[in-house]
Every structure is written in C-alpha cells, then in structure tokens.
Copies of this chain bind each other. A is one copy, B any other.
Amino acid sequence: MSEPPRISKTDKEARRKAIEVLRSRFLEIAEQIKKGNPPEILIPKRTLSNTVYDSQRKLLLLGDEKLKRNFIDLNESRRFMQTALMSSIIYNALVNDEYPTIRDLYYRGKHSISLKDETTGKLYEENTWDEQKESDSVIVDIEVFTSLLREEMLILSKEKGKVVGDMRIRSGNDVIDLSKLGHGAYAIEPTPDLVEFLDVNADFVLVVEKDAVFQQLHRAGFWKQYKCLLITSAGQPDRATRRFVRRLSEELKLPVYILTDADPYGWYIYSVFRIGSIMLSYESERLATPDGKFLGVSMNDIFGSKTKKAYLSEAERRNFIIKAKDADVKRALEIRSYDWFKTKAWQNEIETFLQKKAKLEIEAMASKGLKFLAFNYIPEKIQTQDWIS
C-alpha cells in the first residue's frame, strides 16, 4: 500500500501562487537597488482616514493613500529591514513546505544584528524585533503590500470554528463527509482556501456564537431536519471561520443567519462576520459576509412588539434578563454610529436596548427546553423572516 503524497495539489498551487507574488513584489525592490536608487516600499495606509465604507458592495475598503518606506531614511530603515527579513522568512517557509504560525515567524526572525565600525572599532548591536507585536505588525504590512492574506501565505493560527452538515469537502488528500462526524464536528482549518467544496445539500447556513449551543443543536439533529450547515465561531470569530462563511455565501449562494446573545457584544460578533474590524479593513474584501443576517436573540424576541408576541413571559424576563453595564451602553453607542448599522431595524434594536438596558443570553431562551430553541424559536424566526440586516 503506497502512501499518498503528503502535500495536496491545492496546497502546492497555493504555495506556488504566494511564492510568485512575493518574488515579483520584491524583485521590483531589487530592481531599484540595481538601478542605484534608494529602495523603497509603497504600502497602502492602514489608518481610519484611509478606510472607506463602500455602501454598494457593503464592504470596508482601504482608500488610495499610500505610505513610503525608504531604506536610507533613518526613521524608516529599521522597519524596512524588518519587512524584508519577515518576507524572506515567509518565503522560505513556503518553499520548504512549512506552515508557520505568527509566533513561529517572530522566533525565526528574532536575533541581534552586529556591525563593527571599521574606523572606530566600535560594535553596534540592533535587535531585529523585541516583541511579537512588532513582528505581527510587519506581517500586516506584508499582507497589504502583496495583497496576500496571511492564510494565502499558509501561515497558521489556532483553530476555533467548527462546522457540521450534509456536505463533502476535500482537505489535504482526504475527502471528509461533514454529515458523518458523530457528536463531533470538523474544526475549520486556518487555511480555509485549501478546503475544496465537493458537494453540498443545504438550504442555508446557521452560525451560532456559542460552542455549547452548537453542540446541542447538532445532537438534537437540527441540521438534518432543516437542511442547513451548522457553524460555531466559539465566541469572537477568527479569520478562518469568517473566510469559510464568506465562501459558503459567495460560492454556494447560501443565505447566512447569525445567532448570538442579545447584547452589544453579540451585535459586535455579527458585525465582525458581516464587515470585519475598522482597523483591519484590508481583510474585509475577502473575509466579510455582507449579506449575513442577524437572526437573534433580538430585543423584540424578549419584549415583543405591536405586531409580535414576545418569546419570554413576564416571569421569565424577571428571572433571566441581565442588567446592561456602562461598558455595554458605550459599545452600543459606538455600534449605532457605524454606517452599516444605520438601517431602521438596527437603530430600533439599539434604541430599545438603550431604553431597557437589558441583555439576554441564548441559554435563557433555551431554558424552556432545548427542543424549543431548535424546533420552535429558530425555524419560526427564519420562516417569518424575523431577522435584522
């Protein structure tokens, strides 16, 4: 029995592409040196003022402003050196079939550069970097400089998200049936573009914030009964889960519903899926799911409205509602000001929260029994289109 090749075709192809881009971007810099010019790197500015919300595409994008890193400028030569060093480390990892993490990259580059002044004999020492914060920031520079996400350079991070449903994928050299994982689930790999979608039998995607709620819906057979792909971000979503959800939305045209606690932190999680972080807007173009819908838990679910009965009784509200703290109110005010929350439904939702100062965890909604959550609350919300977008 012969072992299949360890590196899959998809992986090889991704490496080839990243190697090519890195090579050609840095060849340009080498050309500058050959011509006798001081080498410089032009990088799109990652500042708030250079971040634009494209309301057509519903994405946060970087504007046209660029900053110059000039090697012979004393203020910038250190950062120039760091960028070149980090790029060469990433390049070598790609060539050597490795999958480093950002922590690995930090360690691989961490050393002191010594220089002896030939005239005075004095020894100068300079550290490449001291803290991981520094090397991480260099990686982001390289991402915007090359337009390659770190995932495309096959840099790993901790796995957080999970998926289950009636779908077959190829990862590495294996075909995995996401409907045959028992009580378990497939951990979404940190290089989600290496996953190939083979076939899928699902009508929508349900993303739940909480791992334990995910497990319960999974064991209750929710995804089988309602033909969905069930995903958890296990809290604040990581980049891989965001990219995976985006691919399901974009490539398979599946509607995406997001279920979180009823509080500004839950809205923020929704916001990260839908648009990403303002300070990291360069990711948004490939990680965001602009059509993602907030399924709940909404203030209307808790308190009802003129046209809708609340899901909770007066006694349940008394027992389960958590009073909002100042930090919650502050976050709500921030979120209210985001362009992509300026719909009537969102403004109402936030207004109700500010009036009632009430938060609710999804587990409180499940206190009527898990079957209520799985077979009443969620399907009814989807069927009546009772979401916010």
Contact = CB atoms under 8 A, between A and B. Distances in A.
Interface of A: 3, 6, 96, 98-101, 103-104, 106-108, 110-112, 156-159, 162, 169-176, 180-191, 194-195, 211-212, 215-216, 219, 221, 224, 234, 315, 318-320, 361, 363-364, 366-367, 369-371
B191 A156 contact: no
B107 A369 contact: no
A212 B157 CA distance: 6
Given A96-B369, A107-B363, A184 B182 contact: no
A212 B156 contact: yes
Nearest to A106: B363
A107 B366 contact: yes
B174 A180 contact: yes
Contacts of A104: 212, 216, 363, 366-367, 370
Contacts of A182: 169-174, 176, 189, 195
A107 B364 CA distance: 6
A99 B184 contact: no
Contact of A98 (B107, B111, B156, B369): B369
A219 B158 contact: no
7 contacts: A104-B212, A111-B315, A158-B211, A158-B212, A183-B189, A183-B191, A183-B194
A249 to B, nearest CB: 21
Number of copies: 2
B215 A190 contact: yes
A184 B212 contact: no
Given A98-B369, A187-B187, A176 B181 contact: yes
A111 B364 CA distance: 12
Contacts of A110: 319-320, 367
Given A101-B212, A173-B182, A184-B186, A320 B363 contact: no
Given A158-B212, A212-B158, A215-B159, A370 B183 contact: no
Nearest to A367: B107
A68 to B, nearest CB: 31
Given A101-B363, A216-B99, A315-B111, A162 B183 contact: no
A120 B263 CA distance: 42
Nearest to A127: B319
B363 A216 contact: no
Given A211-B159, A363-B103, A174 B170 contact: no
A112 B194 contact: no
Given A107-B364, A194-B183, A319-B112, A98 B212 contact: no
Contacts of A183: 171-172, 189, 191, 194
Contacts of A366: 104, 107
Given A6-B221, A174-B182, A181-B186, 20 more contacts: A3-B224, A96-B371, A99-B216, A103-B361, A104-B212, A107-B361, A107-B364, A107-B367, A110-B319, A112-B319, A159-B162, A171-B182, A172-B182, A173-B182, A176-B180, A182-B195, A183-B189, A187-B187, A189-B215, A190-B215
Nearest to A98: B370
Contacts of A191: 183
